[in-house]
Amino acid sequence: MGNYKLNNVSLENYGVIPIQSSDTNLAITGAWDMPGRLGKTHHDWQNDRDGIEPYVLAEEIRFGGIDINLNALVKGRDKNDALRKTYTFYDHLRVSGVLSCDWGSWTVLVKDQIRGVYKGDGYAQIEVPFRCPVVPMPTTLPINILTYQPTLDSDGRIILVNGAPLYSSIRKYDGLGIDGVGFDSLGLIITSIEDQFSRSAPKGGEVTSYRTEGYRSSTLKEREITINAAIMQPTYAAFLQIVDGLKALFAKPGLRYITRKHDALRDFFVKDGFQVTGVRVNDGQVVAFLKVKLIEVNAFLDWGLLTNTQAQLIDTDLGNIIIT
């Protein structure tokens, strides 16, 4: 299950056996989430013309912590022994410590009540709600995956060097992605996008009326769009690289932009981080699901990729040229 330890002491020393949590085959959940931002993230100018002013300078971006839940069984000879071992384990949870396993390590503290239920035959089930208040944020940004193809001569034949084909790299990017990085290079398989067709709610305000129902004209709140995606990678290390790359991308100062087929080009920032659920680690494959909410700042319905007169994409070293 992952060799779980607390302050470098195996949980099994306390009679604690980690078990699968909810929709994952691991004993922990929440460990791969991106934390939300602290403090004020934008200013609302209370009118449609000016909209919101995002606070996305480097010195304005600070992050909170994440919740990590541990699911486990406590094994005793009987009910009383299970109770004793459970309480002994609780005694070692009174201060902050380091939770570690094969999937990483986190400095944590217990944030809430630990719920325990006796299951019979000397077993009690517990769920420990940890809080990791400080989450190191990665800085390595994702880049487009390079693929390779044989180089052809003017007659369409493969050029050989010392009897072997000469390969050249090409950028695998179709203009759809985030900040010029394709969704495949980001490691995301988009399953759904919520609320891109929705109209945001009016801003609230108190109204006093005596004879009729009170009402007032109001401008709109910022539009929030939620992306749901799957992540599928061959190894845990590759999965972790994808998650860390997304954290670095969404934590980067400034606005991000997203482009999708038949959709607007949207400038956005991420305020609440993202959630990674359903992590399943198997031999040869790691699968998980990601949910992230975008705070839209601008939307451009008329945009496209710059092409030549033959409708071929015009590329630079940074990728395709997007026009709005």
Taking the C-alpha atoms of residue 253 and residue 58, their distance in angstroms, rounded to an integer, is 5
For the chain, give every residue range classified as CATH 2.40.30.200: 5-47+64-132, 173-323
Q: Tens digits of per-residue pLDDT, 35-47? A: 999 999 998 876 6
Return the top range by mean pLDDT from 16-25, 61-70, 263-272.
Answer: 61-70
- Per CATH, which fold does 173-323 belong to? Elongation Factor Tu (Ef-tu); domain 3 (2.40.30)
Q: Give the pLDDT confidence of 217-248 residue by residue, as tens digits.
A: 566 677 899 999 999 999 999 999 999 999 99
According to the model, what pLDDT value does residue 311 have? 47
Band the pLDDT of 209: cuts 50, 70, 90.
low
Q: Which of 73-87, 166-180, 262-276, 282-296 has the lowest mean pLDDT?
A: 166-180
The CATH architecture that domain 5-47+64-132 belongs to is: Beta Barrel (2.40)
Tokens of 324: 């709005």
Over 70: is that where the pLDDT of 79 sits?
yes
